[in-house]
Structure 1
């Protein structure tokens, strides 16, 4: 069976660009911290031995130990995609929300010999640990937020709900992310996302395992504020993935926002994209 590759790309309208210092090398062995008054960029910072274990870092000028970091997690069906797919999000935050640091990360991609779970969750943990270990060098807080799309949204929710042992996550955003793999819309159909994650990799899809990898089943009342965006005509992500997650957050009294665009699919442009941008902007400013 040939594995489908699902890439999720957003286009934002960006006004203006922030001038930053740039460095392609990793200077973290330097005994002195970076100058927090000056914006700074560093690309392909390695956090592991695999070539996919790299991230880009964007630090704003005039940052301090109170500066929080938004981590971007790309989609691609757990088997494809790249941090470049999140550049529109990065550019928007960098130019329109200039008080935040940004991490745009790659993670190891799954194949028949390397299942996505827990490998990709472990990669997120390693990045978060790296940022915390270097917070004085970079002059940033250890508080973080996540924006994920598609498979990256699933990973962002799952990490925020089940693996944030130090309660560092202050908000998490899912844009068309899978949330519940016990949903009959997956288990009782030939949904390609379900087949991609489980059938292709030969994982024993027991109910216990499906619940273990489902944000819906791992969320608790202590979950961070969550904002969800879904398309009513999405061929990959059933609408119930969003509405059921919304209802679970409501039952747990977790702060959340939910938007369903009835006529949109696995991504959108135009006025609905503008609506997403404004809602996400306000949510980040409110909870981070």
Structure 2
């Protein structure tokens, strides 16, 4: 009995230590309590890293960071470093770095991935007992998901702003059809049951299709040498946002699809995000 009790106590302590928060020190007195790989749903892919400021946490805003990977790959760890850069700039803001269910030849990306954004929001609100506004920030496929969720699925208007980094805004853009896995998107991006006969699958999946004058303010960042998501996407998105009188800003960097992460482009973007959100707050 004593041996069995010892085993149970040891397991309990192991589990407890795995759930314990740790502190992320970012210099200049900035620190966050971090809980990593939190399960926000029943699927093993539904994990998040949650970062809460140690000092003067502002529960009115939450960043949700959404990784890229062509809707069928990628990990939240890809954006951990950039998330830390943002945390330095916004030391009082709560951050979520999100992992979501991936598409495959037997699993559609949508609605799973947009549902995961909503489920993560609900989890954060229940866990922290807050009702915040969200800034959705995603790169590549994550940028697409951020826009699509904000423009189409955010019925409760919880999204304060979108930061879209090299995300496809128009899947019908001839330049984007050169994407290597475009055939995969045609077959596996969207469950056909979501779409009525009036729309094509690609139209349904187009963030620009759902933009209205009530859409969330949007900041975009595109590369001039991006052969995955061409800079033509920036012009299309800007045009539709302008037509609907949605506040937006967009910038270009000299680089390819992942060039935004390299100096000095990432720091430039962080600064522009700060400026953009300050303007949004004044509107």
Q: Tell me which interval the TM-score lies in, with the shorter structure as reference length.
A: 0.7 to 0.9
Say which of 196, 207, 211 aligns to 1:215. Answer: 207
Partner Cα distance (1:69, 1:202) in 2:
28
CA gap of 1:255–1:78, structure 2 versus 1, over 3 A, is same
Say which of 231, 234, 237 aligns to 2:229. Answer: 237
CA gap of 1:54–1:287, structure 2 versus 1, over 3 A, is same
Partner of 2:26: none
Shift of 1:264: 1.6
CA gap of 1:174–1:128, structure 2 versus 1, over 3 A, is same
Query: Per the alignment, in what secondary structure is the counterpart of residue 235 of structure 1?
Result: coil
Partner of 2:256: 265
> Unpaired segments of 5 or more residues in structure 2?
1-15, 22-30
Partner of 1:103: 96
- Name whichever structure is richer in helix by fraction: 2
Shift of 1:265: 1.2
Work out whether 1:156 is the aligned partner of 2:150: no
Partner Cα distance (2:59, 2:189) in 1:
42
Work out whether 1:143 is the aligned partner of 2:133: yes
Partner Cα distance (2:88, 2:270) in 1:
13
Structure 1 contact 56–104 (Cα < 8 Å) conserved: yes
Shift of 1:25: 2.3
TM-score (structure 2 length as normaliser): 0.80
Structure 1 contact 172–224 (Cα < 8 Å) conserved: yes
Work out whether 1:45 is the aligned partner of 2:11: no
- Pairs within 5 Å for 1:26-175: 39-63=32-56, 66-136=59-129, 140-175=130-165
Spell out, residue by residue over 1:128-181, the C-alpha distance to the aligned partner (whole angstroms, 9 max, x if none): 111222332xxx442111110000000011001111111111111010000111
Work out whether 1:279 is the aligned partner of 2:267: no
Work out whether 1:194 is the aligned partner of 2:187: no
CA gap of 1:70–1:24, structure 2 versus 1, over 3 A, is farther
Partner Cα distance (1:76, 1:103) in 2:
18
Partner of 1:183: 173
Structure 1 contact 150–178 (Cα < 8 Å) conserved: yes
CA gap of 1:199–1:238, structure 2 versus 1, over 3 A, is farther
Partner Cα distance (1:255, 1:202) in 2:
29
Shift of 1:87: 0.7
Q: Which has the higher contact order (CA 8 A, sep 6+)?
A: 1
Q: Give the RMSD, CA atoms, in angstroms.
A: 2.6
Structure 2 contact 109–190 (Cα < 8 Å) conserved: no
- Aligned pair count? 251
Query: Per the alignment, in what secondary structure is the counterpart of residue 134 of structure 1?
Result: helix
CA gap of 1:233–1:142, structure 2 versus 1, over 3 A, is same
Say which of 3, 19, 28 aligns to 1:25. Answer: 19
Spell out, residue by residue over 1:200-241, the C-alpha distance to the aligned partner (whole angstroms, 9 max, x if none): 679779952211111010111111110000012111112221
Partner Cα distance (2:158, 2:208) in 1:
20
Partner Cα distance (1:218, 1:23) in 2:
45
TM-score (structure 1 length as normaliser): 0.79
